[in-house]
Amino acid sequence: MSVTANSIIENIKPVVEKKLTSMGLELYELKCIKAGSRIILRIFIDKDDSVTLDDCEKASHEISVLLDVENFSQTPYTLEVSSPGIDRPLTTEKDYRRTVGSDVRIHFRDNENKNRTVSGRLVTCSEGNIAVETVKGLKTIPLPDITSGKIEIKI
C-alpha cells in the first residue's frame, strides 16, 4: 500500500470507528486501494449479531456524509461498506467468542513448537483459551498459540 493510502487510513480510521461505534457497529477492517485516478475505500463492519444489508446501507450513508464533511480526499473515491463474511479469518478473542457453537479449523503451535491443526465444534472461549470438541475429544488451545482460525462452512 502506498504512503498516500496509509495516510488516508490513518486520518480517517479514528473518525470512522467513532461513527460506527455510535451506530452499534465495529470497524473490522479498512482498506484504501488506488484504482487508476480514483480511490476505493473498503470498510468492513461487524457486530455481535450478523451484519445485515440494512446495517451496511446505513453505515455507508453515515460514513459517506462524514467523509464529505471531513473532506478527507481531493481524489475522487468510491466507498464500499460490507461485512467481512462468514469465511473471514478469526483473529481476536472477540471473534472466537462470537463463533462459539460453530465448526472451526484451527492452526496452532503445540508445546513442542510444531504446527498442528484441529477441526471441530468451538465449545468455549474464555480466559485466553478456546476449547474445540473434536472426534478425539476436547482440545484446549491457548489463544496466543493460534496461528490462524476459520469457521468451517459445511454444505
Res 138: pLDDT: 96
Structural domains of the chain, with CATH: 3-82 (3.30.300.70), 93-151 (2.30.30.100)
Could you tell me what percent of the chain has a pLDDT over 90?
65
Cα atoms in the 13 Å half-sphere on the side-chain side of 22: 11
CA distances from 90 to 43, 68, 149 (A): 17, 33, 5
Environment class of residue 74 by beta-carbon count within 10 Å: exposed (0-12), middle (13-18) or buried (19+)?
exposed
Predicted model pTM? 0.74
- pLDDT (tens digit, 9 = 90+) per residue, 12-51? 899 999 999 999 999 999 999 988 888 899 999 999 888 9
Per-residue pLDDT at 1 exceeds 70: no
- The answer on pLDDT for 89 being more than 60 is yes
What is the grid cell recorded at 53? 444489508
